[in-house]
C-alpha cells in the first residue's frame, strides 16, 4: 500500500514525540534552560493530543520517561469528553497499567495536579480508587506519602477504614493504634527507639527533631533502607564510617549504577576498579539477557566531550548513558570496538572533556568493518563541524548503499529548539535514549526513522507494543485488581464535572 504525504508526516510527528518523551524531563540541559524545555515539551504534548490521540495514548506502552508518562495521563484524563466509550476504555487500560509502573510519589503528585486542575470526572475518581486499592500496603503509604494519600482520598471521595481515616485526618485523636506502623509513628514523637521502625524518609525527619547523630542514625536505620536508598547513602555512610550501609552494586539498574560511578572521585574509582568494573559488567550482562553475544561485530562511537557535563539537574547524565551503553554493547556484541570522542580508552576514568570530533571517530569505527555501528552522542559535531554528517552521507550513498552496516544514532539530550533530538545525518536513523537498558528496543524503533518503514508499519509496531504492555504481569506482586468498568468507561461529560466543593 502506498504511503500518502500525510502518512509520512504523521510517522515523523510520532517519532519526534517519542524521542522527546524519552529524553526530556522539562529540566535544564547543557544548552537549554528549564523554561525552554518545558515550553517546547508542552507544545509537543498539546499537538499530539489534538492530532494523534490514539498514538499519543499508545506512547504509554513505550519506554518513555516517567515525567512524560504522567503528562500523557493527565492530558488524557483532562480531555476525555471529546472521545467515545471505546476510546476511553482503551485509554483507561493503558493509564491503569502505566500508573502501576510509576513510582508512587509521582502518582500522588499526578493526582495532586489533577485536583488543582479541577479534573474530577467519574473515570478519574475510579482510576484513583483502583490504583489506591492496588497498593500493597496502604498503611505504609499513609505514613510515607501522607499528604498525597490525604489529597487523593479527599478528591476521589474514597472511603477508608476508621483507623486509617483517623491517622490521616486526626492523627492525635487516638492514644494508641492497632497497626504497628501507625503506632510507631505516634511513638516516634517522644520515643527515639520507634524512629527506626519507620521508612527512612520519615525517620530522617524524626531523627533531626530528636538531634540523633547522623552516624548513629544511619547505622540503626540500615535494615529498613531500600536498594536505591542504600546506593544514594553509601558515600554519606563512608564519610560517617558506617560500614553496614553497603549497596549490592551489581543488582542496581545499569544506567543508575553508571551515574553513581561517575559521581565518585577519580582516585576512588581507581582504588575500587575491580569492584566497580565488575558491577557494571554484571549489570550489563543481566540487562542483555538472552541477547548477549548475538549482535555480531559492534563498533561504538561514544561521546565524552565537555557537553556531557549535562546540567545541575541532570548532572553528567549524557555521559552516564554513554558509559552504561558501552558496557551493554560490550555484552551484546560478539566482537566489540569502543571509541570515545576524547580518544581515551579507560572507561572507568572518564570525565567530560574537550570537543566532539564525531566525524573522525566514525571513520575509525567504520574502519573496523563492523556489522553494526552505534553512536551515543548529543549530536553536536564540532571538530570540525559537519564532518560526521558528510562521512555518513558518503558512506551510505557511495560505499555502503546496500546498508550492510546497520548504523544507529542514540541521543540522550532533547533539543528544545528543534522539538526533537539533534540528528547527525538524514541517512542515519536517530532515536532518543534516556536509559541504556532501552538500547535494544530503541535500535528497533529507530528503523522507522530511516523512512523505509511507513505509518502502517509504525502503527502495527505500536499495537504490538501495547498488547505486550497490557499482557505483562504486574511488578512484584499480582495483587492489582483489574481496571473496573467505571474506570474504563466513565467519561467527563458536563454531568461528571467536579462540584464547587469537590476535593475538600
Strands of 372-376's sheet in order across: 335-340, 297-302, 372-376, 406-411, 430-432
Q: Output the pLDDT for position 246.
A: 64
Whether residue 218 lies inside any domain: the answer is no
- Same-domain check for residues 342 and 425: yes
Residue 237 has pLDDT above 90, yes or no: no
The pLDDT confidence band at residue 496, using thresholds 50, 70 and 90, is very low
Q: What are phi and psi of 247, to 5 degrees?
A: -95, 145
Cell of 172: 492525635
Q: How far is CA 287 from the centre of its chain?
A: 16
**Contact call for residues 497 and 120 (beta carbons, < 8 A):** yes
Q: Output the pLDDT for position 426.
A: 85
Q: Output the pLDDT for position 400.
A: 87
Three-state SS at 352? coil
- Same-domain check for residues 491 and 395: no
- Same-domain check for residues 93 and 192: yes
Of 8 and 307, the one with more pLDDT: 307
Give every CB contact of residue 460 below 8 A, 6+ residues apart in sequence: none
pTM: 0.84
- Same-domain check for residues 486 and 449: no
- Alpha carbons 19 and 434: distance in angstroms, whole number: 9
- Same-domain check for residues 177 and 124: yes
Of 269 and 249, the one with more pLDDT: 269
Pairing mode of beta strands 420-421, 372-376: unpaired
**In the predicted model, what is the mean pLDDT of the chain?**
86
- Same-domain check for residues 35 and 176: yes
pLDDT digits (tens, 9 = 90+) for 370-409: 999 999 999 888 889 889 999 999 998 899 888 899 999 9
DSSP 395: I
Domains in the chain, number: 2
Whether residue 238 lies inside any domain: the answer is no
- Alpha carbons 458 and 455: distance in angstroms, whole number: 5
Q: Match 547527525 to its residue by C-alpha cell.
A: 424
- Region of poorest pLDDT, from 180-189, 238-247, 295-304: 238-247
Of 1 and 373, the one with more pLDDT: 373
Q: How far is CA 483 from the centre of its chain?
A: 24
- Same-domain check for residues 261 and 352: yes
C-alpha distances (whole Å) from 223 to each of 193, 208, 433 are 14, 19, 35
Of 447 and 292, the one with more pLDDT: 292
Q: Output the pLDDT for position 449.
A: 63
Our CA angle for 403, 407, 410, nearest 5°, is: 155
Give every CB contact of residue 4 below 8 A, 6+ residues apart in sequence: none
Handedness of CA 340, 377, 11, 394 (dihedral sign): negative
C-alpha distances (whole Å) from 17 to each of 58, 292, 412 are 12, 30, 14
The pLDDT confidence band at residue 437, using thresholds 50, 70 and 90, is very high
Would you tell me the crossing angle of helices 85-101 and 122-134 to the nearest 10 degrees? 30
Whether residue 226 lies inside any domain: the answer is no
Q: Output the pLDDT for position 493.
A: 40
pLDDT digits (tens, 9 = 90+) for 24-35: 888 888 877 888
- Same-domain check for residues 192 and 271: no
| Residues forming beta bridges with residue 297, ordered by sequence position | 335
Assign residue 281 the CATH number of its domain. 3.40.50
Over range 134-159, report the average pLDDT.
Answer: 93
Whether residue 215 lies inside any domain: the answer is no
**Contact call for residues 254 and 289 (beta carbons, < 8 A):** no
Handedness of CA 116, 119, 120, 126 (dihedral sign): negative
Cell of 502: 469537590
**Contact call for residues 394 and 363 (beta carbons, < 8 A):** no
Residue 503 has pLDDT above 50, yes or no: no
| Residues forming beta bridges with residue 408, ordered by sequence position | 374
pLDDT digits (tens, 9 = 90+) for 71-82: 999 999 987 777
Q: What are phi and psi of 258, to 5 degrees?
A: -60, -40
The pLDDT confidence band at residue 475, using thresholds 50, 70 and 90, is low
Q: State percent of the chain over pLDDT 70.
A: 88
**Contact call for residues 63 and 435 (beta carbons, < 8 A):** yes
Whether residue 148 lies inside any domain: the answer is yes
Residue 220 has pLDDT above 70, yes or no: yes
- Alpha carbons 319 and 262: distance in angstroms, whole number: 8
Residue 259 has pLDDT above 70, yes or no: yes
Over range 172-180, report the average pLDDT.
Answer: 92
- Same-domain check for residues 383 and 443: yes
- Same-domain check for residues 445 and 473: no
- Same-domain check for residues 378 and 333: yes
Whether residue 249 lies inside any domain: the answer is no
Over range 410-415, report the average pLDDT.
Answer: 92
Range of the domain at 409: 255-453
Residue 491 has pLDDT above 50, yes or no: no
C-alpha distances (whole Å) from 248 to each of 218, 275, 392 are 17, 11, 42
Q: Output the pLDDT for position 482.
A: 45
Whether residue 52 lies inside any domain: the answer is yes
- Region of poorest pLDDT, from 51-55, 344-348, 417-421: 417-421
Q: Output the pLDDT for position 3.
A: 60
Q: Match 511488578 to its residue by C-alpha cell.
A: 475
Residue 5 has pLDDT above 70, yes or no: no
Pairing mode of beta strands 420-421, 414-415: antiparallel
pLDDT digits (tens, 9 = 90+) for 295-330: 999 999 999 999 999 888 788 999 999 999 999 999
Mean pLDDT is highest, among 29-43, 187-201, 441-455, for 187-201
**Contact call for residues 206 and 195 (beta carbons, < 8 A):** yes
The pLDDT confidence band at residue 494, using thresholds 50, 70 and 90, is very low
pLDDT digits (tens, 9 = 90+) for 281-291: 999 999 999 99
Of 363 and 499, the one with more pLDDT: 363
- Same-domain check for residues 329 and 422: yes
- Alpha carbons 27 and 11: distance in angstroms, whole number: 27
Q: Output the pLDDT for position 11.
A: 80
- Alpha carbons 221 and 204: distance in angstroms, whole number: 9
Q: Output the pLDDT for position 238.
A: 64
- Alpha carbons 224 and 152: distance in angstroms, whole number: 26
Over range 86-96, report the average pLDDT.
Answer: 91
Residue 256 has pLDDT above 80, yes or no: yes
Whether residue 439 lies inside any domain: the answer is yes
- Alpha carbons 259 and 78: distance in angstroms, whole number: 36
Of 441 and 324, the one with more pLDDT: 324
Over range 196-205, report the average pLDDT.
Answer: 93
**Contact call for residues 299 and 337 (beta carbons, < 8 A):** yes
Q: What is the largest CA-CA distance in the chain?
A: 81
Q: Match 524545555 to its residue by C-alpha cell.
A: 37
Q: Match 560511578 to its residue by C-alpha cell.
A: 261
Cell of 475: 511488578
Cell of 382: 564540532
Amino acid at each position: 500500500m502506498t504511503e500518502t504525504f500525510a502518512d509520512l508526516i504523521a510517522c515523523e510527528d510520532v517519532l519526534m514525540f517519542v524521542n522527546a518523551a524519552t529524553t526530556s524531563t522539562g529540566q535544564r540541559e547543557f544548552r537549554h534552560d528549564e523554561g525552554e524545555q518545558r515550553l517546547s515539551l508542552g507544545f509537543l504534548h498539546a499537538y499530539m493530543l489534538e492530532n494523534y490521540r490514539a498514538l499519543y495514548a499508545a506512547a504509554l506502552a513505550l519506554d518513555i520517561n516517567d515525567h512524560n508518562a504522567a503528562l500523557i495521563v493527565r492530558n488524557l484524563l483532562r480531555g476525555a469528553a471529546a472521545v467515545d466509550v471505546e476510546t476511553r476504555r482503551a485509554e483507561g487500560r493503558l493509564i491503569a497499567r502505566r500508573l502501576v509502573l510509576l513510582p508512587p510519589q509521582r502518582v500522588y503528585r499526578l493526582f495532586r495536579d489533577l485536583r488543582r486542575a479541577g479534573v474530577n470526572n467519574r473515570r478519574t475518581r475510579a482510576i484513583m480508587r483502583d490504583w489506591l486499592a492496588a497498593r500493597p500496603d496502604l498503611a505504609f503509604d499513609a505514613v510515607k506519602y501522607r499528604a498525597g494519600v490525604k489529597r487523593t482520598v479527599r478528591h476521589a471521595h474514597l472511603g477508608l477504614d476508621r483507623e486509617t481515616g483517623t491517622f490521616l485526618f486526626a492523627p492525635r485523636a487516638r492514644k494508641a493504634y492497632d497497626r504497628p506502623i501507625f503506632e510507631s509513628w505516634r511513638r516516634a514523637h517522644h520515643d527515639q527507639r520507634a524512629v527506626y521502625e519507620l521508612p527512612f524518609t520519615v525517620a530522617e525527619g524524626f531523627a533531626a527533631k530528636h538531634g540523633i547523630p547522623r552516624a548513629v542514625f544511619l547505622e540503626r536505620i540500615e535494615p529498613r533502607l531500600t536498594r536505591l536508598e542504600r546506593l544514594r547513602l553509601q558515600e554519606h555512610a563512608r564519610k560517617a564510617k558506617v560500614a553496614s550501609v553497603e549497596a549490592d552494586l551489581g543488582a542496581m539498574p545499569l544506567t543508575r549504577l553508571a551515574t553513581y560511578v561517575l559521581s565518585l572521585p577519580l582516585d576512588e574509582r581507581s582504588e575500587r576498579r575491580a569492584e566497580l568494573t565488575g558491577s557494571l559488567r554484571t549489570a550489563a550482562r543481566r540487562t542483555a539477557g538472552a541477547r548477549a553475544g548475538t549482535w555480531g561485530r559492534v563498533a561504538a562511537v561514544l561521546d565524552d566531550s565537555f557537553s556531557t557535563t549535562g546540567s545541575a539537574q541532570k548532572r553528567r547524565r549524557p555521559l552516564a548513558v554513554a558509559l552504561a551503553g558501552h558496557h551493554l554493547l560490550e555484552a551484546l556484541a560478539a566482537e566489540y570496538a569502543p571509541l570515545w570522542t576524547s580518544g581515551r580508552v579507560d572507561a572507568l576514568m572518564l570525565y567530560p572533556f574537550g570537543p566532539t570530533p564525531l566525524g573522525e571517530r566514525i571513520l575509525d569505527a567504520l574502519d573496523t568493518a563492523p556489522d553494526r555501528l552505534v553512536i551515543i552522542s548529543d549530536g553536536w559535531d564540532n571538530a570540525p563541524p559537519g564532518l560526521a554528517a558528510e562521512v555518513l552521507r558518503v558512506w551510505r550513498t557511495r560505499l555502503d548503499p546496500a546498508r550492510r552496516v546497520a548504523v544507529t544514532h542514540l541521543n540522550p539530550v532533547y533539543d528544545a529548539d528543534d522539538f526533537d533530538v539533534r540528528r547527525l545525518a538524514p541517512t542515519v536513523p536517530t532515536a532518543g535514549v534516556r536509559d541504556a537498558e532501552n538500547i535494544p528496543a530503541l535500535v528497533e524503533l529507530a528503523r522507522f526513522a530511516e523512512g523505509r518503514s511507513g505509518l502502517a508499519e509504525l502503527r502495527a509496531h505500536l499495537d504490538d507494543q501495547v498488547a505486550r504492555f497490557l499482557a505483562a504481569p504486574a511488578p512484584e506482586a499480582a495483587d492489582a485488581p483489574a481496571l473496573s468498568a467505571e474506570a474504563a468507561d466513565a467519561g467527563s461529560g458536563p454531568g461528571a464535572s467536579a462540584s464547587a466543593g469537590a476535593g475538600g
